[in-house]
């Protein structure tokens, strides 16, 4: 493998890669050419991602695997389901999208993840973790029922294997005993450092003397063992035990192969060819290195999980909402010894690195296990602690039953910090947090706060934490307007809004971080403007006063207009039997495309000019 030390400044001259636009082109190459192609593909990936930004380290780690899969399978008739999709950029390059990589994650360009609307080579649209085994099992079972002879492979990382959904799929696959093929891409890394029993189990494989001996001896035994002669089960188990510290996957009903070197493309081709010939469920365990072939990414795998596009003169960055949360968390923990913090594998993304270092005994990274994170938090609260669950809005969807049944039904004292709420931007619809108000607002007992800027976020974080019961505060990705932050731990009254300005005829009720836009419109057109702060409980007293003063009401939110904050206002007016013209401004009832956050907000008419136009028509 060729090692690159920096991003290529000029488009690489790739003699082999230039000949490959689709998997059928790849099959024309000799197997001896594939290591050279891997170097060229890796260099091209470095060049394109440096121009567009995006998920990075995972793709570098699966270059050889991607080539081997495309070389062996008959795509698109055969299917590859990429778990989460962070690692799918090399797949896109080899499946007809090489010339579009310069528009990755941009409006009207390629999606950041596999998408069935983008290419027939993408078997499933993905973005959330741990879905690949269940999905590929369904695809495989459909092929069995239709007798169309398709081969299905799923590629799942060791981080994604920590989720319960992955094991549900594994157990069903073992029960059905079909010719499903699963590749466990083990790079000891998800987004954060992997945690939990499975990570410890796989670490034992890495550290075992048997594995090290196999790796240094050319992997001859492991290459032949899974597809060898018909030997007795006892002998096979004996050989397996000599290599593995345990038989976890075998016990779940899968034939286990590995671990093998995931960067040996010729070995991968031969192994995949043998797996394709079999009619039983197999799990191939490959060892790879996240960021492989790019020295900075190999050395700092967390930093290079995803990158922004390289800019000569990058803009001066403001403090991010996630960092405000992290600072508040540490400040509050010094004051309250009962505070404990929970994250489902998002330590860095949620701004919790300093908390982990300062309060390791009160920090819990539960791996990619959102359902467990929420119920674990409920248990901590019932036991007398004060848990704060930091979770992305889009990932709280995965723990909805636990939110209702284990937290809100019991009126449990758990605080939720919902990062990446509203439009996320370049990562597209799988990561946008535009449904959380709707699915939380209908649950009894919960408080929902919508801070409008950085200072409000700190105030409302503290307010929600001090509330004795379930409370959630939602805030977006990135930075806000740049408001000065008061570092004390003051609180606001739950369910009470605040006046920004008086006006005439029309009043805007703002919920969340679009306040700066609303303020510009209100100042120019002399509208009233109120920052509501809370969606639930809604400030009924304030609304009662406003409907006496203003002839029309406008609600504004960075969230779907269906069932959102505006709907809460409509419901209250309906209950009071008040007929008042109300305009609900929010995200349209469609899944938002990928593009910059401002571009997507503009498409939804939530920029300053769009707001003025919609209110004028109203």
Residues with catalytic annotation? 290, 370, 398
Gap between the Cα atoms of 82 and 157, Å rounded: 9
Helix or strand or coil: residue 575? helix
Q: Residues for the chain: how many in total?
A: 618
Hey, what are 138's tokens?
């369904």
For residue 397, the 8-state DSSP code is G
Gap between the Cα atoms of 513 and 318, Å rounded: 15
Hey, what are 432's tokens?
């946008």
> Bridge partners of 152?
79
For residue 29, the 8-state DSSP code is S
In angstroms, the Cα distances linking 236 to 174, 233, 240, 246, 429 are 18, 5, 6, 13, 46
Hey, what are 425's tokens?
């931007």
- DSSP for 498-540, written as a single string: EEEE--SSEEEEEESTTHHHHHHHHHHHT-EEEE--EEES--H
Alpha helices in 148-187 (DSSP H): 164-176
Helix or strand or coil: residue 584? strand
Gap between the Cα atoms of 91 and 109, Å rounded: 16
Hey, what are 42's tokens?
């890796």
Contacts of 615 (CB under 8 A, 6+ apart): 506, 521, 525, 527, 554, 583, 585
| Strands of 331-429, DSSP E | 339-343, 363-365, 386-392, 415-419
Beta strand pairing status for 498-501 and 528-531?
antiparallel
Nearest to 74 by CA among 144, 145, 24: 24
CB atoms within 10 A of CB 257: 23
Hey, what are 531's tokens?
């920052």
Gap between the Cα atoms of 396 and 370, Å rounded: 7
**b/e sequence 558-575, b meaning 16+ C-beta within 10 Å:** bbbbebbbbbbbeebbee
Contact criterion met (CB below 8 Å) for 41 and 17: yes
Gap between the Cα atoms of 427 and 55, Å rounded: 9
- Could you identify the residue written with the tokens 């920004």? 500
Indicate the helix (H) or strand (E) that contains 335.
helix 321-335
State phi, psi for 538 to the nearest 5 degrees. -80, 145
Please confirm whether the linkage preceding 537 is cis (ω < 30° from 0): yes
Hey, what are 451's tokens?
């801070």
- Residue 247 CA, chain-centre distance (Å), reads 30
Gap between the Cα atoms of 413 and 379, Å rounded: 10
């Amino acid at each position: 493998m060729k090692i690159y030390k920096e991003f290529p400044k000029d488009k690489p001259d790739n003699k082999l890669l230039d000949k490959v636009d689709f998997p059928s082109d790849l099959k024309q190459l000799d197997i001896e050419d594939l290591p050279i192609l891997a170097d060229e593909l890796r260099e091209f990936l470095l060049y394109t991602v440096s121009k567009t930004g995006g998920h990075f380290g995972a793709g570098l780690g699966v270059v050889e695997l991607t080539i081997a899969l495309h070389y062996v399978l008959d795509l698109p008739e055969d299917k590859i389901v990429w778990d989460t999709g962070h690692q799918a950029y090399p797949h896109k390059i080899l499946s007809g999208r090489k010339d579009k990589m310069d528009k990755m994650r941009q409006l009207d360009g390629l999606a950041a993840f596999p998408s069935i609307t983008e290419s027939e080579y993408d078997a499933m649209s993905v973005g959330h973790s741990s879905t690949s085994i269940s999905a590929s099992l369904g695809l495989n079972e459909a092929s069995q029922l239709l007798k169309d002879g398709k081969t299905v492979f799923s590629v799942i990382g060791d981080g994604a294997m920590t989720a319960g959904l992955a094991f549900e799929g594994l157990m069903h696959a073992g029960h059905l005993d079909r010719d499903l093929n699963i590749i466990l891409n083990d790079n000891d890394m998800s987004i954060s450092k992997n945690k939990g029993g499975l990570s410890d189990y796989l670490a034992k494989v890495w550290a075992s003397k048997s594995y090290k001996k196999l790796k240094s001896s050319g992997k001859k035994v492991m290459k032949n063992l899974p597809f060898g002669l018909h030997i007795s089960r006892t002998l096979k188990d004996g050989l397996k035990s000599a290599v593995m510290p345990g038989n976890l996957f075998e016990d779940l009903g899968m034939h286990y192969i590995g671990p093998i070197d995931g960067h040996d493309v010729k070995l991968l081709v031969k192994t995949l060819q043998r797996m394709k010939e079999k009619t039983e469920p197999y799990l191939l365990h490959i060892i790879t290195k996240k960021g492989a072939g790019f020295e900075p990414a190999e050395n700092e795998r967390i930093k290079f999980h995803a990158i922004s596009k390289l800019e000569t003169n990058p803009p001066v960055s403001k403090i991010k909402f996630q960092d405000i949360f992290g600072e508040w968390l540490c400040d509050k923990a010094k004051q309250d010894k009962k505070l404990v913090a929970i994250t489902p594998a998002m330590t860095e993304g949620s701004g919790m690195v300093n908390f982990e270092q300062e309060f390791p005994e009160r920090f819990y990274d539960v791996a990619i296990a959102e359902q467990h994170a929420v119920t674990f938090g409920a248990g901590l609260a019932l036991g007398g602690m004060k848990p704060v669950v930091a979770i992305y809005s889009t990932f709280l969807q995965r723990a909805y039953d636990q939110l209702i049944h284990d937290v809100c039904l019991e009126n449990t004292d758990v605080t939720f910090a919902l990062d990446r709420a509203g439009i996320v931007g370049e990562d597209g619809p799988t990561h946008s947090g535009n449904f959380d108000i709707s699915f939380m607002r209908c649950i009894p007992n919960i408080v929902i706060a919508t801070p409008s800027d950085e200072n409000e976020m700190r105030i409302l974080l503290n307010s929600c934490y001090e509330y004795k019961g379930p409370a959630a505060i939602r805030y977006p990705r990135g930075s806000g307007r740049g408001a000065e932050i008061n570092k004390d731990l003051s609180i606001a009254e739950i369910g009470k809004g605040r006046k920004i300005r008086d006006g005439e005829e029309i009043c805007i009720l703002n919920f969340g971080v679009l306040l700066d836009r609303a303020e510009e419109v209100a100042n120019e057109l002399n509208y009233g403007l109120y920052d509501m702060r809370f969606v639930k409980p809604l400030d009924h007293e304030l609304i009662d006063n406003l409907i006496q003063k203003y002839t029309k009401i406008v609600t504004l939110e960075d969230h779907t207009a269906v069932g959102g904050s505006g709907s809460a206002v409509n419901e209250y007016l309906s209950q009071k039997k008040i007929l008042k013209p109300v305009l609900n401004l929010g995200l349209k009832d469609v899944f938002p495309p990928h593009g910059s956050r401002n571009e997507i907000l503009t498409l939804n008419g939530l920029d300053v000019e769009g707001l003025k136009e919609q209110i004028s028509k109203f």
